[in-house]
Structure 1
Amino acid sequence: MRKRSLLGGLAALATALVAGATLTAQPAQAAAGFTVSGSRILDANGNAFVMRGVNHAHTWYADKLGALADIKALGANTVRVVLSSGDRWTRNDAADVTNVINQCKANRLICVLEVHDTTGYGEDAAATTLARAVDYWIGIKSALAGQERYVILNIGNEPYGNTNTAGWVADTKNAITRLRAAGFEHSIMVDAPNWGQDWSFTMRDNAASIFATDPQRNTIFSIHMYGVFDTAAEITDYLGRFKSAGLPIVVGEFGFNHSDGNPDEDTIMATAQAEGIGYLGWSWSGNGGGVEYLDLVTNFDATQLTSWGQRLFNGANGIKATSREASVYAGSSTPPSTPPSGPSTPPSNPPAGKSCSAAYAITGQWGGGFQGAVTVKAGSAAISSWTVTWTWPNGQRFTNTWNATVTTSGDAVTARSMSYNGSLPAGGSTSWGFTASSTGTNTAPAVSCAAA
């Protein structure tokens, strides 16, 4: 997304999506921080990480870095930060980037850093090349070295417009090659051409060969979804091709409205949640030139969520409901080693007529770990809170939890409802989730639920 201007000159998307070349997944190699494994992104602890966050226009609003605390408070786990190489706007030097990274870490956010000066190259005369973006990253390497656990390097924003998009392939491969040769071990993110929207399918059809160019096999693809993605079929087809091929993709930018068409944000968010794909909404605040409606908050004030902000943070499949903190922060949602005082089991005599059930499901597994979800359903009467308990049968242990207050004592687990998901109507349901470690055998526990 460009500051104070619209996404320009997008050609019409064909009604039927053209058939793309078969994408070939490659194995991830070891790195110092984030890695990819098939279509999944893993943090430095080897735990699956799904981006849920927003874009923040730091280079134009350098005095608004305090926004990161507000973004975190609303539930985000990632922020994509706009930087400038100095080719188009004022250069963000190594000291400034160090401060940005430190603020991300202080607020327990994963920091995706991007150079915005490349936006629309070949169509916008003011835009610079991916090669110049690489020059910038090499020039500030001192700020990035050792931060691989917390930083993902997004080489350049929307690095081609709609002109000569075939050139994007060679330029992207060269950029990846140069960054690796310069010693960068970060996960690298690459934006699509066509102002990020890839209606020509240049990124989609060349993703496998670009991924193979990276000797670390640690490249993430980023699609920006605005007016080109205005139907469910277009969204599910595009994301589904990467998922089926075992290649990692995130929705690096998207909105709920746009002058080039009305993106289907409901399908974007629902598909991302169903498929374990990250998304980053554009943008926190400060838009102009006719796209002010893409501000998530008004005048950088976190208490003034716009309708787009309400949708992204608090709506179905939104950040509040689906985000979980990267395990590299040993998050505050990690169960304490000593349970708080008070009963560790549900009351033996819950109020008459109130009951609930809990269904335990494993939603994903990898070597030494897994992800699970617990669905709590109210009985024949409405409830105001719930408590789920079980005993791990094989020594499993949580690495992260969300949407429940969880305490443990050895193998015993107690999960209590949060302030926002305890009240359920008769027959109503809610879910909470977790990641956990296992030692090989991973038998599902017998789960109990008590309601009040």
Structure 2
Amino acid sequence: MSTTLAARRRAALSALIVAVASVLLLTTALARVADAHGNIVDPASRNYGCWQRWGGDFQNPAMATQDPMCWQAWQADPQAMWNWNGLFREGVAGNHQGAIPDGQLCSAGRTQNGRYNAMDTVGDWKAQNISTNFSVKLFDQASHGADYIRVYVTKQGFNPVTQPLGWGNLELVGQIGNTPASQWTAETGGVSIKVNGTAAGRSGRHIVYTIWQASHLDQSYYFCSDVNFGGVQPSPSSSASPSASPRPSTSPSVSPSPSRPPSPSPSSPPPPGGCSATYALTGSWPGGFQGDVKVTAGSSAITGWTVTLTWANGQTITQSWGATVTTSGSTATAKNVSYNGSLAAGGSTTFGFLGNAPNSSNGAPGLTCTPS
């Protein structure tokens, strides 16, 4: 064998090794993305609540005055909300206090390269009214199950509006042990479970702190939910159940362009007893996009709704949450799921989806809303 031929074979072998290594690294990275799949949806955690309230309108300057803590979080890193299901640490081995310093509990110790740091910001976060006998609802997209889930509440006298959260401020008020996903409640896009807690002697503003130890890896999730025990004002969250099923984490990790706000479709006020729907483009990439639809009841309550979307540019919906979607030609029909069909007069909910956009144009669909 000539020296030149041997050199060529060695070069080809080296190139093959590099290619295989690259594929393995990519596969590992994708697997890690797929691992991140859950959050507390009731009472909503800080980043899930900000996504729930503002995900379809995150550039609205009114947020700065109406919801200033969410505003600072969106400004700090929008991906903390788009990736609401990734607030976790790995390799903690149960030593949560050793891994997470005081003052950093809501960001899981500034996990994910600081993406969630704004969750630790002290201030007047929107708080949900709950009773002292309550439950937290955890939504798990990947059906990982739990080694355990622990629910803590801040001690009476702690003020979350002015004080950073530390481990010494918390008291364990509820927990469950090993619970496989097969024992959780099946929902559209995943499974959920409720964990009961009792916060006797509490009143006013508090933080409910939840630790979910997922079963598939040594992966620990940490959630801060702002609550008001015994409050009489309407909850900032529109309902006890999430207004939209969480977004699948398999969607492209593309946040909407800061220079391009979502463009809602025009809609006339809903008629009495009827409903209306508005559309917002919340993200786009070559060949695909992400959208939200807001459904609003008229002057009378409704028990269900159906939204028809008519596309003009060949778009198709490939995945949805918060609605059951069927497609026929250029028309998609979205029906409410179990938890977001009933709306009070003037009440609203949202559903979202991923879609294919095969053409250069990606115009808003025509919308009709029919109550039931």
Q: What range describes the TM-score normalised by the shorter chain of this pair?
A: 0.3 to 0.5
Q: Which has the higher strand share?
A: 2
TM-score, normalisation: structure 2: 0.43
TM-score, normalisation: structure 1: 0.36
